[in-house]
Amino acid sequence: MEKSTFSLLPIKNDYVFKRIFSYEGNEDVLIDLLEAILKIKIRKIVLKNPEMISERESGKKFILDIKAELDDGTIVDIEMQTSDEKNIEERSTTYSGRMISEQLQAGDKYTKLNKVIFIVILNFEYYKRNSYYHIARPRFDEIEEEYFVDMGYVKQDEIATKYIEMHYIELPKYFKKNPAIKTKLDEWLWLFSGDEEKMEMVKRKNNKVKKAMNTLERISLDPKERQMYEDIKTEEFLQRVSENNIRKESEKIGFSKGHDAGRKEGEKIGFSKGQDVGRAEGEDIGKRKKEIEIAKKMLDKNIKIEEIMEITELTKEEIEKIKKQIN
């Protein structure tokens, strides 16, 4: 058989990862991966967010995590993180909290709550721990002597709640260890290695891994899939550049420091010219002037109007008026 000359999309990309494991008919593939990670038996799974794009008021938002409900009611969220944005702790806390809060409506009993598990596969090293796989649950601190009461417990409770669980897998540490293919988890993790020999081995060992690879080939051949991959990659890059520019401009102008610059400007405008305005009004004037300055600098960098609206308190009409003035 002639070897294919087309290039496969990168399986460690967050979009490609979701397409493979949320592909219609690939529920068994996702089950096999989750069984390998969680070391449990899963009979059935229901995808809760198979869509890739959500329409929001501020525009399109890409949904690159996979949320699923297991047969016992457990809610699992799994995703691939390709670049270190220094927010894994905040991200996992936010996602876990959201999975908890979304379950209960007003008036529901807390006993209806189901366990939530957040899983993130990291394509970078993050935790200063001598392990590539970390499982975290809310635990009690060591008992301080002043709080000790001898209740006769031979074995004390260590876990504060069974309802929240977080799993972190760091791929670079796994590949550094270079383990043999002994477990189902090994079969899946070597799939993300890019090592053709190892990938062929795990395909022969595990039919679900083989099915995942077949799906990767299928979407890699699809022009629409490749275009979506490129669009999301570009959008993510522009978003990172935009956020970095916003942060730098805001810090330079003083916007992120409690509007100190705006306050000083307001005092100068409100008082140095002998105008009888209150301090609050002077601060408002200064704050608005600074927001206009921020908007001008952001427009110069071709940052979207919607993003400028989020950073400043200016309306779309005001920003468009400023844009006309500087053009």
pLDDT at 202 over 70: yes
- 195-201 mean pLDDT: 88
- Write down the pLDDT at residue 151: 95
Is residue 91 very low, low, confident or very high in pLDDT (cuts 50, 70, 90)? very high
- Write down the pLDDT at residue 62: 78
- 140-159 mean pLDDT: 95
58-67, 97-106, 146-155, 282-291: least confident range: 282-291
Q: What is the pTM (predicted TM-score) of this model?
A: 0.72
pLDDT at 210 over 90: yes
b/e code 122-155 from CB counts within 10 Å (16+ = b)? bbeebeeeeebeeeeeeeeeeeeeeeeeeeeeee
87-91, 161-165, 279-283: least confident range: 279-283
pLDDT at 155 over 90: yes
- Write down the pLDDT at residue 275: 44
- Write down the pLDDT at residue 266: 47
Strand partners, 58: none
Query: Tokens 């294919």 — which residue?
Result: 4
CB-CB neighbours of 13 under 10 Å: 18
Query: Closest by alpha carbon to 74, among 167, 169, 185, 212?
Result: 167
- 99-109 mean pLDDT: 88
- Write down the pLDDT at residue 273: 44
Token representation of residue 80: 């691939």
- 84-89 mean pLDDT: 90
- 70-98 mean pLDDT: 93
